């Protein structure tokens, strides 16, 4: 039968698409299985608000009738309008070390995107840079933190063998949130002046007001990241969708809002306890006993991921980011989590990368996004 590349066309195909990584990573201790029901929801065109402004096709690669790879190709109209480009995107890529299968998947995605008028294929993104994206280039020896992928060491060669080249690198910085004396003194000096000189109060997010707090976070997120390469704002429906998923993960010790006295939100920081340390023990399922395992392992989480920390452009001179850094040190003194990773951060974001150096951080993981003209 040889190699066949075909779209997902049935429930059985969808199950194969979702479950393929379990076989591909069965011998990789650092891979963390996602929750199956969450993966099914992400791929559901009726339930995921991404599809209100986008379309996608999901492909399977089969060799002699056996699944060996998968990939999505998608067109996001919001992304194209915001970035003023005609890019097509791809994601959910998983494949055996099979260059022919990888090239077949990527070519099928390219043809699908080309037929929709796209002039470039960029990825991997599941579905945009607001979600897990990039292929791991450095840091395979480390277990991944929440919402960050772990991928096979041979994937870069598969991409490059199919004619894709580097588009952008994304950096993850390790921070040990201890030893304030190791941090550049200028950071503490700036933090001390945020309220007294600028009238800005930084406070924890309130979980009981989660929807309102997520809207405040979105206001900052869409303003602070809008100049970033590859960024696309979240819609209101996407915010509600992500807020529902965020509720079980949010810890008020690690999530912050910065406001002026008149209530204007000027900054936000969202740090998540590393729930991957829980997912690692669940094998993709909460039932029948996964809930009990989750409660047990959640109490043993010892690290965090600084998922997003941003300040509106007009207030980036006020020291709000420094105050957020200080609040992370305060949180580490009252919780079991005393270290973690921050990012990802674009390799071209000089100011944030310098700030991480000033905090005593170290680059420990690098993800790469690839591209190919169509």
Q: What is the pLDDT of residues 28-85, one digit of tens each?
A: 999 999 999 999 999 999 999 999 999 999 999 999 999 999 999 999 999 999 999 9
In the chain, the percentage of residues whose pLDDT exceeds 70 is: 99
**pLDDT one-digit tens code per residue, 203-247:** 999 888 888 888 888 888 888 887 889 999 989 899 888 878 877
CATH number of 174-366: 3.40.630.30
Sequence spans of domains, the chain:
3-171, 174-366
Asked if the domains 3-171 and 174-366 are classified in one and the same CATH topology, the answer is yes
**pLDDT one-digit tens code per residue, 246-305:** 778 888 999 999 999 898 999 999 999 999 999 998 888 877 777 788 888 888 999 999
SS (H, E, C) the chain: CCEEEEECCCHHHHHHHHHHHHHHCCCCCCCCCCCHHHHHHHHCCCCCHHHHCEEEEEEEEEECCEEEEEEEEEEEHHHHHHHCCCEEEEEEEEECCCHHHHHHHHHHHHHHHHCCCCCEEEECECCCCCCCECEEEECCCCCCCCCCCCCCCCHHHHHHHCCCEEEEEEEEEEEECCCHHHCCHHHHHHHHCHHHHHCEEEEECCHHHHHHHHHHHHHHHHHHCCCCCCCCCCCHHHHHHHHHHHCCCCCCCCEEEEEECCCCEEEEEEEEECCHHHHCCCCCCCCCCHHHHHHHHHCCCCEEEEEEEEECHHHCCCCHHHHHHHHHHHHHHHCCCCEEEEEEEECCCHHHHHHHHHCCCEEEEEEEEEEEEC
The model's pTM: 0.92
What integer pLDDT is reported at residue 165 of this predicted model? 98
> For residue 373, is pLDDT > 90?
yes
The answer to whether domain 3-171 has CATH 3.40.630.30 is yes
């Amino acid at each position: 039968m040889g190699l066949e590349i075909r779209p997902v066309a049935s429930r059985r195909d969808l199950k194969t698409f979702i479950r393929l990584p379990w076989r591909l990573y069965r011998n990789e201790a650092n891979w963390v299985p996602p929750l199956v029901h969450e993966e099914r929801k992400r791929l559901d065109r009726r339930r995921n608000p991404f599809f209100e402004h986008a379309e996608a096709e999901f492909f399977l690669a089969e060799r002699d009738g056996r699944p060996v790879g998968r990939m999505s190709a998608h067109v996001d109209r919001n992304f194209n309008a915001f970035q003023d480009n005609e890019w097509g995107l791809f994601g959910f890529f998983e494949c055996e070390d099979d260059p022919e299968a990888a090239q077949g998947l990527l070519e099928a995605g390219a043809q699908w995107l080309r037929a929709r008028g796209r002039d470039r294929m960029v990825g991997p993104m599941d579905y945009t840079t607001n979600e897990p994206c990039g292929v791991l280039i450095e840091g395979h020896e480390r277990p991944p933190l929440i919402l960050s992928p772990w991928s096979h060491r041979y994937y870069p060669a598969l991409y490059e063998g199919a004619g894709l080249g580097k588009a952008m690198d994304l950096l993850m910085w390790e921070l040990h949130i201890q030893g304030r004396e190791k941090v550049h003194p200028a950071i503490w000096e700036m933090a001390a002046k945020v309220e007294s000189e600028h009238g800005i109060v930084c406070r924890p997010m309130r979980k009981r007001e989660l929807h309102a707090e997520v809207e405040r976070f979105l206001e900052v997120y869409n303003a602070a990241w809008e100049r970033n390469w590859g960024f696309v704002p979240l819609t209101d429906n996407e915010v509600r969708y992500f807020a529902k998923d965020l509720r079980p993960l949010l810890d008020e010790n690690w999530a912050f809002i910065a406001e002026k006295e008149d209530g204007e939100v000027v900054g936000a920081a969202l740090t998540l306890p590393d729930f991957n340390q829980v997912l690692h023990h669940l094998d993709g399922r909460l039932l029948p006993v996964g809930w009990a395992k989750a409660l047990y392992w959640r109490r043993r989480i010892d690290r965090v991921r600084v998922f997003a920390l941003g300040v509106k452009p007009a207030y980036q001179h006020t020291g709000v980011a420094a105050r957020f850094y200080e609040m992370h040190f305060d949180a580490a003194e009252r919780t079991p989590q005393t270290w973690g990773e921050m990012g990802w951060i674009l390799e071209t974001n000089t100011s944030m990368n310098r700030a991480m150096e000033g905090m005593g951080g170290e680059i420990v993981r690098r993800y790469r996004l690839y591209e190919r003209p169509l």
